[in-house]
A and B are shown apart, each in its own frame.
Chain A
Amino acid sequence: MTDPQNTPEAVTVLEARAIAKSFLGNIALDNVDFSLKRGEIHALLGENGAGKSTLIKILTGVYTRDSGTIRLDGAEVSPANVGEAQVLGIGTVYQEVNLLENLTVAENLFLGRQPRRFGLTDRREMRRRSRELLARYGLDIDVDALLSTYSVAIRQIIAIARAVDLSGKVLVLDEPTASLDAQEVEVLFSMLRKLKADGLGIILITHFLNQVYAVADRVTVLRNGKLVGSRDLDGLPRMELISMMLGRELQHVTRDHQASEGDVPAGDAAIHFSDYGKRGSVSPFDLAIRPGEVVGVAGLLGSGRSETAFLLFGIDRADSGTATVDGREIALTSPEAAIANGFGFCPEERKTDGIIGDFSVAENIALALQARQGWAKPIPSRKKQALAEEFIRSLDIRPADPDRPIKFLSGGNQQKAILARWLATNPRLLILDEPTRGIDIGAHAEILKMIEKLCAEGMSLVVISSELEELTAIAHRVIVLSDRKHIAELSGAEVTADNIMHAIAAPNRTEAA
């Protein structure tokens, strides 16, 4: 561990030594050391299930450690709950849902530290400070409205604003960027740089290596609960970092767009949407999808990407146009109707409504298939088990135990199970909204490979993604949305990150973040 670029004043603010933790005999952390300096952004990396979130939860008092010591500013500390960690000056955005939907934005921001006047909560002051706080993130919203009225992205910013405001010494962000778009990430990062300059120590967990290289100074890598090492990012090649994380080289599957019209199995489009739209949601569009084709959907947040998916899957009802499958007109009046026609949809808000925590991994995977068969015909548990084992293997879900309640899996592994749920229905058209968010770089490659294989077997796919590299890697065609309109379609050799970016930026954009 050498730190040539650090000034002498860069002293350690948080130091964890030999932290160990096991859950019911499974070792999640095995004598891990971690240290954070004042005024540094420290990335904590590792595969899904490596133990990152567990380490954070031990440092912030959610879990009790089996052994090890934690020092804050040199003094030994042992926060017994999140409240105590907050008092010590550690603010955290956890990977799971962080806020309360039944409270207002202002109440969420100041829960547990309400400004008081004459001993009672000063609501006016709370509102004023909330507005002020959010303004720093370019957010001008009604702080008296319930949190549930806002989108995931806005909630994420609110959660970050709360944590930043709480953190006197240490700020911890566990995958904070998973539901933010590029612009919002930039706002967040400039905020982090400012906080860093003020001397805050920041721990950042993310699966986006670009982001790591963009803001982090140092990186600590965990693998299977063990410390692989801590390094300065300066002069650490990306490939070396990846092999630290995976323990092996990454085989490159990303074919940087050679996919062309020719790759698509010949044949006519089987699924047609014509003049399909809904007032106030998405303007009418035409879309024809061939078997085995991957159609990408690109656009900024709020451009109508998710809304397009809602229409295709019958969550929103179209008020114009027709949908046909194999020449037969179908009525997509509800998700059930869409599922009956062989559609599948893996939504973006998996965090909030994807998993049933107390159900086992196998049951969670079998859920959509069961729904399609009807609840009257239960899937035999042996079949569920076999199905689960198949996907645990192909998506590398860890730990490979179909009977474990899914809430005990790491965030990324839960994500994989949800993806498996839809793949298990063997749909003819699968709609994926941000399929690889929160999934580690190794699994990411596996999933892309799996998608290619399924398409080769004739499944059609609509993929919504903010990551242009992901789209260019798998999509045969990309539809670009802006202002709730389909404004461009790129196909074959035109599908490049540059072209998509230009298409997004080209028209007169009116929406704000």
Chain B
Amino acid sequence: MIHSRNLPFVTTLAIFVIAYALCALQFPAMLSTRVIGNLLVDNAFLGIAAVGMTFVILSGGIDLSIGSVIAFTSVFVAVAVGSFGLHPLTAFALVLVISTAFGSAMGAMIRYLQIPPFVVTLAGMFLARGAAYLISTQSVPISHPFIDSVQEFYFRFPGGGRLTAMSMLMIAVFVIGGIIASRTKFGANVYALGGNPQSAELMGVPVGRTTIGIYATSGFLSGLAGIVYTFYTSSGYSLATVGVELDAIAAVVIGGTLLTGGTGLIAGTFVGILIQGLIQTYIVFDGTLSSWWTKIVIGILLFVFIVLQRGIIWYSNRRIDIARLKGA
């Protein structure tokens, strides 16, 4: 029997498989490893950011600063390497420290000043975007032997597809994120907070530490996503990745995580990313559709999924009631 809390995930997975099959029927080439490889590369930075967002949403919060932090990171790295001649690895380490500290500070404000996450991270969004402009308003190209060599690193699938370093990094983040969520104390505390913060506190969950940890994780992963984005575009630009946090939220919700917190899986977010990638790929294959159709389809999907989740919750509550009546 599927436990009811995994039902949204299973539904998402089923929808992805069916949609992929339908796409492949129309365009058999979509089955090629090359398409799959590209899908992973194109969504690597979004996927990494979405893992952080999953933790935040699981805890009942939201992080609107992600897109801005990604832009800040990419500009910071480009300028640090290009203008100041830092080694990319040094720049990465620096920027990860900054983005993690930034996330921790937001978490601390949410917990200790009792300001809603929406407000705190909205302020964080403006702040990070502003900081990116301060560094540079231009698109800064980046080139460094180290970056080139990483960009050229990949595994080749049979059929010509490539698993690049960035794709591997995303997959690693999903795997580690999944383990943290399901198999560590911190992960359990995140679910507990999302379920009911008062009860969690009375059960001994360290609410402050966990909240700060959640937003620090999201900050760290936004920084990492920014680094991946820099590799992806070979540049840093302060106007880039506007609204990426919303794409991440969409992936999380389509992946079956409840926006109210407490229920969901990291693996679901992965499928959510795949579904978004699939839509983009389909539009490319079709050739006549405008890329804005991606947004429209994602919008429709979101509606469908939210309604579906409501339905599932309603249904499982009913089943629970019936079970209670019969059992007790």
Which residues of A approach B to under 8 Å, CB–CB? 62, 81-83, 85-86, 92, 94, 96-103, 107-108, 111-112, 114, 120-121, 123, 144-146, 148-151, 153, 162, 280-281, 301-302, 307, 511
> A410: shortest Cβ distance to chain B, in Å?
16
Q: Are B184 and A98 neighbours in the complex by a CB distance under 8 Å? A: no
Q: List 9 A-B contacts (CB under 8 A).
A: A83-B206, A98-B199, A100-B203, A103-B191, A111-B189, A121-B184, A148-B317, A150-B324, A307-B325
Determine the chain B residues whose CB is within 8 A of the CB of A82 once the complex forms.
Answer: 201-204
Q: How many A-B residue pairs have CB under 8 A?
A: 100
Q: Are A301 and B328 neighbours in the complex by a CB distance under 8 Å? A: yes
Given contacts A86-B204, A99-B203, A100-B203, A112 and B185 within 8 Å (CB-CB): yes
Decide if B179 is an interface residue (CB 8 Å cutoff). Answer: yes
Given contacts A102-B191, A103-B192, A146-B5, A97 and B199 within 8 Å (CB-CB): yes
Closest 3 pairs between A and B when the two form their complex, measured CB to CB: A302-B328, A102-B262, A102-B195
Q: Are B4 and A146 neighbours in the complex by a CB distance under 8 Å? A: yes
Determine the chain A residues whose CB is within 8 A of the CB of B323 once the complex forms.
Answer: 149
Q: Are A111 and B203 neighbours in the complex by a CB distance under 8 Å? A: yes
Decide if B322 is an interface residue (CB 8 Å cutoff). Answer: yes
State which of A62, A144, A301, A302 has its C-beta within 8 Å of the C-beta of B201.
A62
Decide if B200 is an interface residue (CB 8 Å cutoff). Answer: yes
Determine the chain A residues whose CB is within 8 A of the CB of B324 once the complex forms.
Answer: 149-151
Determine the chain A residues whose CB is within 8 A of the CB of B199 once the complex forms.
Answer: 96-100
Q: Are B328 and A151 neighbours in the complex by a CB distance under 8 Å? A: yes
Decide if B198 is an interface residue (CB 8 Å cutoff). Answer: yes
Whole-angstrom CA separation of A99 from B202 in the bound complex: 9
Whole-angstrom CA separation of A29 from B322 in the bound complex: 44
Q: Are A281 and B204 neighbours in the complex by a CB distance under 8 Å? A: no
Q: Are A112 and B194 neighbours in the complex by a CB distance under 8 Å? A: no
Which residues of B approach A to under 8 Å, CB–CB? 3-5, 179, 182-185, 188-189, 191-192, 194-196, 198-207, 262-263, 317, 320, 322-328
Q: Is the interface of B mostly helix, strand, loop or mixed?
A: helix
CB closest chain-A residue, reference B196: A100
Whole-angstrom CA separation of A101 from B188 in the bound complex: 13
> A391: shortest Cβ distance to chain B, in Å?
26
The residue among B188, B191, B205, B206 with the most chain A CB atoms within 10 A of its own CB is B188
Whole-angstrom CA separation of A153 from B189 in the bound complex: 25
Q: Are A120 and B325 neighbours in the complex by a CB distance under 8 Å? A: no
Whole-angstrom CA separation of A148 from B185 in the bound complex: 21
Q: Are A83 and B198 neighbours in the complex by a CB distance under 8 Å? A: no
Whole-angstrom CA separation of A244 from B12 in the bound complex: 62
Determine the chain A residues whose CB is within 8 A of the CB of B322 once the complex forms.
Answer: 280
Q: Is the interface of A mostly helix, strand, loop or mixed?
A: loop
CB closest chain-A residue, reference B187: A121
Q: Are B325 and A121 neighbours in the complex by a CB distance under 8 Å? A: no
Determine the chain A residues whose CB is within 8 A of the CB of B4 once the complex forms.
Answer: 146
CB closest chain-B residue, reference A87: B204
Determine the chain A residues whose CB is within 8 A of the CB of B201 once the complex forms.
Answer: 62, 81-82
Given contacts A83-B206, A112-B204, A121-B183, A100 and B192 within 8 Å (CB-CB): yes
State which of B184, B196, B204, B320 has its C-beta within 8 Å of the C-beta of A81.
B204
Determine the chain B residues whose CB is within 8 A of the CB of A97 once the complex forms.
Answer: 196, 198-199
> A209: shortest Cβ distance to chain B, in Å?
27
Whole-angstrom CA separation of A504 from B320 in the bound complex: 27
Determine the chain A residues whose CB is within 8 A of the CB of B204 once the complex forms.
Answer: 81-83, 85-86, 111-112
The residue among B4, B194, B204, B322 with the most chain A CB atoms within 10 A of its own CB is B204
Whole-angstrom CA separation of A307 from B263 in the bound complex: 29
The residue among A121, A123, A144 with the most chain B CB atoms within 10 A of its own CB is A121
> A480: shortest Cβ distance to chain B, in Å?
17
Determine the chain A residues whose CB is within 8 A of the CB of B195 once the complex forms.
Answer: 100-103
Determine the chain A residues whose CB is within 8 A of the CB of B184 once the complex forms.
Answer: 120-121
> A155: shortest Cβ distance to chain B, in Å?
11
Determine the chain B residues whose CB is within 8 A of the CB of A162 once the complex forms.
Answer: 203
Determine the chain A residues whose CB is within 8 A of the CB of B192 once the complex forms.
Answer: 100, 103, 111
> A417: shortest Cβ distance to chain B, in Å?
19
Whole-angstrom CA separation of A96 from B203 in the bound complex: 11
| A-B contacts besides A107-B191, A121-B185, 16 pairs, CB < 8 Å | A62-B201, A96-B199, A97-B199, A98-B199, A100-B203, A102-B263, A103-B188, A107-B188, A112-B189, A114-B185, A114-B188, A146-B4, A151-B324, A162-B203, A280-B322, A281-B325
Whole-angstrom CA separation of A151 from B322 in the bound complex: 11
Q: Are A112 and B203 neighbours in the complex by a CB distance under 8 Å? A: yes
State which of A83, A149, A153, A302 has its C-beta within 8 Å of the C-beta of B320.
A149
CB closest chain-B residue, reference A407: B198
State which of A102, A151, A280, A302 has its C-beta within 8 Å of the C-beta of B5.
A102
Whole-angstrom CA separation of A96 from B202 in the bound complex: 9
Whole-angstrom CA separation of A298 from B198 in the bound complex: 34
Whole-angstrom CA separation of A92 from B203 in the bound complex: 9
CB closest chain-A residue, reference B188: A111
> A335: shortest Cβ distance to chain B, in Å?
14
Determine the chain B residues whose CB is within 8 A of the CB of A123 once the complex forms.
Answer: 183
Whole-angstrom CA separation of A62 from B199 in the bound complex: 11
Determine the chain A residues whose CB is within 8 A of the CB of B188 once the complex forms.
Answer: 103, 107, 111-112, 114, 121
> A134: shortest Cβ distance to chain B, in Å?
15
The residue among B182, B196, B320, B328 with the most chain A CB atoms within 10 A of its own CB is B328
> B55: shortest Cβ distance to chain A, in Å?
15
> A70: shortest Cβ distance to chain B, in Å?
17
State which of A83, A151, A301, A307 has its C-beta within 8 Å of the C-beta of B205.
A83
Whole-angstrom CA separation of A328 from B214 in the bound complex: 59
Determine the chain B residues whose CB is within 8 A of the CB of A280 once the complex forms.
Answer: 322, 325-326
Determine the chain B residues whose CB is within 8 A of the CB of A103 once the complex forms.
Answer: 188, 191-192, 195
